[in-house]
Structure 1
Amino acid sequence: QGGGGDPVPPDPPRPRSDPDSVVLCVLATDEEDEGDIALQIHFTLIQAFCCDNDIHILRVSGMQRLAAILGEPEAGAEPRDLHCLLVTNPHTDAWKSPGLAEVASYCAESRDRNQWVPYVCLQER
């Protein structure tokens, strides 16, 4: 991260214009979301789509930490829904980014251990 200044929000995903650029789907929840049946159905449908389209999936808990990592929205902006994040990479070789390559490797290793949707708990700092 650079020093000083406001964090630059990532470009919003553009799956409608280029679905092939989606390389990772992050599904985030907290304990209070576990009883949300509509959200769980939504996640199930998203996971099925991602599996059919060879998109890596990562389940994450720790919504406050995730929000802190992604940066605060602009003042007066509508609150962001961070339950489902699509990570896109417009490059032909999607895993050229070392960070994305590491996540892909983690997802593949998890699948080798029969954990089809790997889970990461983000700790508060």
Structure 2
Amino acid sequence: EALRAHQPLHDLTHAVHAAGFFVPGQGIVCAREDVGRHNALDKLIGALLKAGIDPASGAIVMTSRVSVELVQKAVVAGCGVLLAVSAPTAQALRMAEAAGLSVAGFARGGRIEIFTHPERILGGNVDVA
């Protein structure tokens, strides 16, 4: 929900995706928009690196579904958490699980559904059995 405040192009066009970077205790510290969700994430990662922000210090937040390519980009960037408003694909979850990436989807209305590595999001030892 905090990402919406960082989407001026969406407000004008209702036709673009956003990628934001959430830091606990600070909120969304950086966001980028593009008609393509992959491009929005590329722009975000570039902006983080240019600003000297370590992608491992927070979570990537997306306004789209989670695909294999988004998982790959988050892992290569060194970010451990990828959140999205929509669903992840099954292949994306298999890749995220193997890579150690926490993926959560359906992030709406103050709720999320955690699919992989919940301990990073919830903290501590989590029994998912």
Q: Shared topology, TM-score over 0.5? A: no
TM-score between both structures, scaled by the size of structure 1: 0.25
More contact order relative to length (CA 8 Å, sep ≥ 6): 1
